[in-house]
Amino acid sequence: MSTTISEYKRCTLVTFEGRVDSNTVPAMEETLKSITDAGQFKIVLDMSKVTFVSSAGWWMLIETQKTCHRYNRGELVMAGLDERIHKSLDLVGMGSYFKIFDDVVTAVAHF
């Protein structure tokens, strides 16, 4: 698992790599919290290198989404989500809580 952060003019791009499960969530949660603690509430998550997201991973992202929504036009959006992961999100009824874009360029342009 690895994480990189890039600052853009209107949003922050975070790239996760590998598995998002109970083993890796604490480190990822800390990364996202450091971004929202710094007052950045427009976040693009590049998921193109993520192979698995468990419910613990979705709960971390739901909590981050809640934090982002509390601020003016804040939002967490995702890009490049693997089709299987996307389908599983819809199957368990959580697909409606995130905007999902095909690629990072489109997601960044959303803000």
- Cβ(103)–Cβ(79) under 8 Å? yes
| Bridge partners, residue 104, by sequence | none
Q: From the CA atom positions of the chain, what is the Rg in Å? A: 13
| Bridge partners, residue 44, by sequence | 13, 77
Per-residue binder mask for other proteins (CB under 8 A), 58-87, x = binder: -x--x--xx--x-------------xxx-x
Element (H, E) at 73: none
- Which residue from 27, 38, 92, 105 is in contact with other proteins, where contact means CB under 8 A? 92
3 scored as a contact of other proteins (CB under 8 A): no
User: Which positions lie near other proteins, rule CB under 8 A?
Assistant: 19, 21-23, 52, 54-56, 59, 62, 65-66, 69, 83-85, 87-88, 91-93, 97
